[in-house]
Structure 1
Amino acid sequence: MKNSASVIGMMVSAAVAGSFCEVARADESALFKDSTATLQARNYYFSRDYSGIVGPNKQSKAEEWAQGFILNIKSGYTEGPVGFGVDALGLLGIKLDSSPDRVKTGLLPLHTDGSSADEYGSLAGALKMKVGKTELRVGELQPNLPVLAFSDIRLLPPTYQGASVVSTDIEGLTLNAGQLRSTNLRDSSNDQPMYALINDPINPRRIANITSNRFNYAGADYTFNDKRTTVGIWQAQLKDIYQQRFYNLKHIEPFGSWKLGANLGFYDAQDDGQSKAGSLDNRAFYSLMSAAHGGNTFYVGYQAINGKDGFLRIGDNISPLGNEVPTYEFAAPKERSWQLRDEYNFAAIGLPGLVVGARYLKGDNVNTGRGFEGKDWERDLDIGYVIQSGPFRDVGVRIRNATARSNYRTDIDENRLILSYTIKLF
């Protein structure tokens, strides 16, 4: 683990080095003139109160406060039929407040004595090559895929080490393929093997100690109908643990002054290869319908989990399921769940920068393995505001309050306060 001084030094050095791109703008090479660099400062307070605790962990509260910095440098490409470039990503997290009896928020790494680290960070890069509209990246990656969602929901985002190819040479068609070898989790500065999480009411982490150094994926999305309809098919494999297929349909339909939307998805997963985690069987269907009018967007969602197991994913990440929320997942074996959500953008009434969202989710029919039907519900309130003018222009403030209750798992009351500001370096 790098100390904060060394990581800050590397990040500052990278930012200073980037200033040479300002001089290099006179160079016609797109490698320099298309380069960008940003530094995001993120201040994060996270608090969860637990009650009706189920399971071996009897910690009644998780509460920490930390400051993060995310440096993102992206070059352009050299000129010619084959273009080359390089990207760099610097991450730094600093503890502001914590205690051994309030850890495990996902903001900070843990030491072996149970206390959280004072700081953690990393600096890594990726080489990239482009031919036409096909791009190859090798190195530090942040994929955002239906089979591996980008889970930037804590102080610092997770990263992966491997190679990816994205091609848009055929109009309307996007092809993806890649292999990931290791991961740097959201609260870690060390590369490590990947593991799977399974939504299991009895033992949620029963396969988390089984790891793999190969996550292979391939997918295709085709957009047509004046870009209003997209269909997708994906295949993923966490070698010797599980394999998963995904089928997706998205559509947007104007209806007078309304805009109606549909997002339908189906996952089918089984154990893979040597089946190191044992026999696995999961099928998950979700539907998320939307209706937008003025500043309002209304959502109705339905989700059904089938097979003997709950939903499978790479840990520690969210999934793209329609009823996935950061507190409860509503993806336990046999679970059926509904969602109602409303988001309002106050720009519609002359208050740009302010967005408020509220949602309610309810699940039942859970196979708890304890002789009774599992039920759960969650209510979330999100308020986000980006200051529009003055000395604090572009500073973002986000507040989240969540209440989650269940008859088979621990109840949660959660609050988050996130302040963020992004500086464009060049």
Structure 2
Amino acid sequence: MRQYRLGLLALGIISAGQAMAAGQVDSKGFVEDSSLVINTRNAYINRDYKNGNEDRGEWGQAFMGIFNSGFTQGTVGVGVDAFGFYALNLDSDRSRSGAGGVDFFKRDSSGDPAEDLARVGAAVKARISNTVIKYGDQMPQLPVLSYDNSRLLPETYTGTMITSNEIEGLELVAGRFTQQVRKSATGHDSGDLKSINVYGGSYKFTDEFTAAFYASDDEDVLKKQYVNLNYVFALPQDQSLTLDFNGYKTKLDKDFANDNFAGARDNKIWSLAATWAVGIHSFTLAHQRSTGETGYNYGGFRNAGGFGDGGNTIYLANSYWSDFNGKDERSWQVAYGVDLSTLVTPGLSYKTAYVRGYNIDDGTDGGRGEEREIFSQLTYVVQSGPAKDLSIRLRNSFLRVDNDAINYNNEGNETRIFVDYPINVF
């Protein structure tokens, strides 16, 4: 049945391509439209856990080369995308590595993290009009399958993706992926993903209003649907009010739920955020609510007890160090952001947030648990000169969890320091 749905969507995309031709006729060529970017990333994460849990932390240097070719000229354009990653372990040993939320360098059978790691991949692509089909190693960014690029090296997936932009304002996607490579892997070490099918799209109804729907079928694990509604109210005197709704509905496979969740299968989670922007300032108020037989499940690697749909597959407002996605959890957020470009120096910005979650059912006989997080992040991006686009990100979280939610989450203090320097070779 899922293959039938994917086939219908693909047929619709192709039909739209026949009805409206554009993009491919403007192709300049395989070489002329190609690009090569080498990003150097120095990343450090330290987690100072409380309640007797061992601290975790890793520090590494990465080099990520990404090549994107243009498309050959003609009715059907073809091209190639490729990447090469290398990472060097600067400070990580068996006593501090191994946290699932860090995962810079995969441990070997003796428990030691890798000294370095390397990975390469490539994909072939073809374009007709404004429809692109790509097969090979990719980094999908969809609400139901979103690769994790928030650590040292990114996750990658192997499979097929069709993306259509034939109608102005409308993007449709359909894809099937059969391998996941974890971010700390060497070579093509697999996360043991069987397969995941994805489809959906987004549409910009007006300049103010956009909506999206996506769905996925993670074989033998779960089915998931996602919806987004976003509306921006333009206000006088350099102001705006943005309302952003995000929601997921997840149902675990019956056998998977029996083996891992005592038969519990269903979850619904949603968030609604209101952001008032005035000049260089922004103020956000958000509410998030999880209901069902489990909390919201996503990410991780199947061979490590995870789900396999990507470490960033949580397009919700209250997701920082904690995701505030426990069973029956409700959470409120207040946040403040400021663009310091005119006050201090161009390219400097700051954000802070406070999130409180409550009503958490962690499976024990105690009361409903609570957690709270104070988040802050300072970001600087060089605006000009030889180091243009170099970015420095300093991030910190204080997470506290009470005794009635201790089986759901760990408390502690987290520090992240990331320095990225993308070099445009051509």
Tell me by how many angstroms 1:94 deviates.
0.5
Counterpart check, 1:377 vs 2:399: no
Conserved 8 A contact 1:83-1:129: yes
The equivalent position to 1:401 in structure 2, one of 396, 399, 422, is 396
* Amino acid aligned to 1:224: F
Q: Secondary structure at the match of 2:83?
A: strand
Alignment of 1:2-401 (within 5 A): 29-53=28-52, 58=53, 60-104=54-98, 105-191=102-188, 194=191, 212-225=193-206, 227-256=207-236, 257-272=238-253, 275-278=255-258, 279=263, 280-315=265-300, 317-349=311-343, 351-371=345-365, 372-389=367-384, 392-401=387-396
* Amino acid aligned to 1:276: F
Conserved 8 A contact 2:298-2:314: no
Conserved 8 A contact 2:119-2:188: no
**Map of 2:425 onto structure 1:** 425
Give the root-mean-square deviation of aligned CA atoms.
1.8
**Map of 1:20 onto structure 2:** none
User: Would you identify which runs of 4 or more consecutive aligned residues in structure 1 move more than 6 Å?
Assistant: none
Tell me by how many angstroms 1:177 deviates.
0.7
Q: Which runs of 5+ in 2 are unaligned?
A: 1-26, 302-310
Q: State how many pairs are aligned.
A: 376
Conserved 8 A contact 1:318-1:324: no
Normalising by the residue count of structure 2, what TM-score does the alignment of the two structures yield? 0.84
Name the CA distance, whole Å, in 2 between partners of 1:393 and 1:212.
39
- Report % sequence identity: 28
Name the CA distance, whole Å, in 2 between partners of 1:167 and 1:192.
31
Tell me by how many angstroms 1:351 deviates.
2.2
Tell me by how many angstroms 1:184 deviates.
1.0
Name the CA distance, whole Å, in 2 between partners of 1:212 and 1:386.
37
Say if 1:374 and 1:319 are closer, same or farther in 2 by CA, change over 3 A. Answer: farther
Name the CA distance, whole Å, in 1 between partners of 2:61 and 2:218.
33
Residue by residue, what CA displacement relative to the aligned partner does 1:341-381 show, whole Å, maximum 9, x if unpaired? Answer: 11211124462110111111110001122122110011111
Q: Secondary structure at the match of 2:78?
A: strand
* Amino acid aligned to 2:80: V
Tell me by how many angstroms 1:314 deviates.
3.1
Q: Secondary structure at the match of 1:276?
A: helix
Name the CA distance, whole Å, in 1 between partners of 2:186 and 2:416.
23
* Amino acid aligned to 1:299: T
Name the CA distance, whole Å, in 1 between partners of 2:103 and 2:120.
20
Name the CA distance, whole Å, in 1 between partners of 2:333 and 2:270.
14
Name the CA distance, whole Å, in 2 between partners of 1:252 and 1:374.
35
Conserved 8 A contact 1:318-1:326: no
Residue by residue, what CA displacement relative to the aligned partner does 1:148-184 show, whole Å, maximum 9, x if unpaired? Answer: 2332110011110001011010122110110110111
Tell me by how many angstroms 1:83 deviates.
0.6
Q: Which runs of 5+ in 1 are unaligned?
A: 1-27, 195-210
Tell me by how many angstroms 1:106 deviates.
1.5
Tell me by how many angstroms 1:29 deviates.
5.0
